């Protein structure tokens, strides 16, 4: 039995055994998903909970905070925290942490893989061979990364890692974000539409949330032109999915490579039916190496907090500024 002063931690959609195992060494763990009656469970343990360990894309809001009056910290698994009401957490003095940096290279690698797969139709060519169609004739020629102008929406940690990789491919790189960045040589556009007009390939690396909801809209897609290709490794919400489907169906853009969707794990049948899409089940950070690093960083945040050393990787909105 842990001593009485052992902090109580609630796990929500956080099922990695290494995370739970490490937390169990130090904390008293409660697993929301294992409770037969979650409301009764929250009534019983909620008043004691001081920390949350949550899976990615898990809704954490005022309603839950109301049930957890002793809550000090929400440690989230993933860099994106658009499903956590960080502003409300701030108002209540609750620290929110995420897992940046440790996944940037993995997600950027996948973005480049998805870009090449979409342009050169790698999955389609694989399906062609497996269906025995090579014997009937060569696979059709594809579009190319050669001579493309690539725009990155969101030059944060992951956007930068994508840009660095693209430099090796010898393509022109431009970007749009809230502010121009002094330490990069890529061309800045102060509007997304301006970026889309200047490029034919758009890689979405901007965070989700109200500020970016549906900003890749019909006008932006049309501006990419008939050779336009969209890659999204960020959040499905950033793209107006209905407008994307309409543009692909009408041929006003050429293709899309998507690792994320508006309503995961639901993927619109229209996207599946299109041959010019490459669709992945949100696997950007999904390697053993990177998910283990994310798990360690999540647990480091909780250990550090309850050791009185503050959070390791707080989100920008969090009340932590060196001291509470």
Catalytic residue IDs: 235, 264, 282
| 261 interacts with ligand 8YV by CB under 6 A | no
| 282 interacts with ligand 8YV by CB under 6 A | yes
Question: What binding mask, one character per residue, do residues 38-77 give for ligand 8YV by CB under 6 A, x or -?
Answer: -----------------xx--------------------x
| 80 interacts with ligand 8YV by CB under 6 A | yes
Q: Which one of the spans 168-176, 277-285, 295-303, 316-324 is the region binding ligand 8YV (CB under 6 A)? A: 277-285
Q: Which residue is nearest to ligand 8YV (CB)?
A: 78
CB of 100 to ligand 8YV, least distance (A): 8
Spatial distance between the Cα atoms of 131 and 135, rounded to a whole number of angstroms:
10
- Long-range interactions of 225-228: CB distance < 8 A, separation 24+: 225/200, 225/253, 226/251, 226/252, 226/253, 226/254, 227/143, 227/200, 227/253, 227/254, 228/200, 228/201, 228/202, 228/252, 228/253, 228/254
User: From the list 14, 83, 277, 285, which residue makes contact with ligand 8YV (rule: CB under 6 A)?
Assistant: 285
User: From the list 7, 51, 78, 257, which residue makes contact with ligand 8YV (rule: CB under 6 A)?
Assistant: 78
Q: Which one of the spans 60-68, 111-119, 192-200, 282-290 is the region binding ligand 8YV (CB under 6 A)? A: 282-290
Apex 164 CA angle, 160 and 166, nearest 5: 115
CB of 54 to ligand 8YV, least distance (A): 10
| 159 interacts with ligand 8YV by CB under 6 A | no
Binding site for ligand 8YV (CB under 6 A): 55-56, 77-80, 103, 282, 284-285
């Amino acid at each position: 039995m842990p001593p009485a002063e052992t902090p109580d931690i609630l796990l929500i959609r956080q099922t990695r055994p290494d995370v739970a195992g490490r937390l169990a060494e130090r904390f008293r763990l409660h697993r929301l998903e294992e409770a037969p009656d979650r409301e009764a469970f929250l009534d019983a343990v909620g008043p004691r909970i001081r920390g949350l360990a949550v899976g990615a894309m898990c809704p954490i809001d005022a309603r839950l905070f109301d049930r957890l009056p002793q809550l000090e910290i929400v440690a989230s698994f993933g860099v994106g925290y658009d499903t956590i009401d960080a502003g409300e957490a701030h108002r209540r003095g609750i620290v929110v942490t995420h897992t940046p940096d440790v996944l940037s290279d993995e997600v950027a690698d996948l973005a480049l893989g998805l870009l090449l797969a979409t342009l050169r139709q790698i999955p389609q060519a694989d399906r062609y061979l497996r269906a025995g169609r090579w014997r009937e004739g060569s696979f059709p020629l594809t579009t190319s990364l050669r001579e493309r102008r690539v725009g990155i929406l969101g030059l944060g940690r992951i956007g930068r890692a994508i840009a660095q990789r693209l430099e090796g491919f010898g393509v022109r790189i431009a970007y749009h974000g809230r502010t121009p960045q002094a330490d990069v040589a890529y061309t800045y556009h102060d509007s997304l539409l301006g970026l889309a007009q200047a490029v034919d390939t758009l890689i979405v690396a901007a965070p989700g949330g109200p500020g970016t909801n549906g900003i890749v809209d019909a006008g932006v897609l049309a501006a990419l032109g008939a050779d336009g290709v969209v890659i999204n490794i960020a959040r499905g919400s950033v793209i107006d999915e209905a407008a994307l489907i309409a543009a692909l169906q009408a041929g006003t853009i050429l293709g899309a490579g998507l690792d994320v969707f508006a309503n995961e794990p639901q993927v619109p049948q229209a996207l599946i039916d299109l041959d010019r899409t490459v669709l992945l089940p949100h696997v950007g950070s999904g390697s053993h190496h990177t998910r283990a690093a994310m798990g360690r960083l999540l647990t480091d945040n909780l250990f550090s907090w309850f050791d009185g050393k503050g959070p390791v990787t707080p989100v920008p909105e969090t009340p932590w500024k060196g001291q509470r």
